[in-house]
Structure 1
Amino acid sequence: MMLMHPFINEEFVPDLTWFIGQFDVYDREETLGAILEVYNPENKRDRSELIVKYGLNLECLSYRHKYVLVRFLGDKLNDPDFDFKSLFEIDEDCAGSWPRGEWYNLQSPKEFLQDVYVLAKETWKEDLKKAALEDPSTW
């Protein structure tokens, strides 16, 4: 068995863009962009609110998906060679944009994801506990 992607009939492969993709405002500058531009991702309080209110608002994911994503993020945070800055880079040819200039040059992208990790473990605590009681090989 395998954990399936929530939208397509393929195996779910964890990706950190699940945690930051909700902040992409391309083609939504006047709606989501207007809401998010008041937050500064460099400000600890703003960042916490952004993450909890928007970044972790992933109702499409099951408790199993959340568990896999949090474990994946934990592994990446422990990898000294992982390039967190690249997650926030948007190619010129890519349809994507951040709500404010600070997003393009975060002082510490890893710190942003460390906050995501801590807040995800807190916000999704019950889901993570439930998944931890199961054998992932049966998914």
Structure 2
Amino acid sequence: MDEKFDAGLMWFVGRFSVYDREETLGIELEVYDPDNKIDRTGLIKKYALDLGCLSYRHKFVLVESLADKLHDRNYDFQSLFEIDEGEASSWPREEWYKLESPRGFFQHVYTLALEVWEDDLLKASLEDRATW
């Protein structure tokens, strides 16, 4: 519990890895196109933001980290979707390996996180972070 929280953006996309779950999660996710805004909305709300294991403070720090990266024009969002051959990870569809706009995907995550996690983010913002 005393370890520093890693607010890496893989928290948002790691849930889409279907490695060793191709017959279950893979089948469920393959009907979605991550480049289609309507499909992406459903994917993000159902999977990327369903992080029940995280507290409201963790969510706040994740959104803050995402906002920082979105403000960095040089941040390589595509690198988050690249999987080395030796990694135990895979995406549900070929489109995931080369999204039309990886930055747009994460902008969409940010917008929906502000909406879905509104109460948690407000609660965390009202606290003194020095006490965390």
TM range (shorter): over 0.9
Please name the residue that 1:88 is paired with.
81
Q: Structure 2 length normalisation: TM-score? A: 0.98
1:97 aligns with 2:65: no
| RMSD, aligned α-carbons | 0.8
Give the gaps of 5 or more residues in structure 2: none
Match of 1:68 among 61, 82, 94: 61
Separation of aligned partners in 1, 2:126 and 2:67: 18
> Which letter maps to 2:12?
F
1:1-35 per-residue CA deviation (whole Å, 9 max, x = no partner) reads xxx4xxxx521121000000100010000011110
> Which letter maps to 2:66?
L
Match of 1:48 among 38, 41, 49: 41
1:80-112 per-residue CA deviation (whole Å, 9 max, x = no partner) reads 110000000000111100000000010100000
Of Structure 1 and Structure 2, the greater helix share is in 2
Paired positions, count: 132
Give the gaps of 5 or more residues in structure 1: none
Percent of counterpart pairs with the same letter? 64
Q: Structure 1 length normalisation: TM-score? A: 0.93
Separation of aligned partners in 2, 1:74 and 1:50: 20
Separation of aligned partners in 2, 1:138 and 1:13: 18
Separation of aligned partners in 1, 2:26 and 2:48: 14
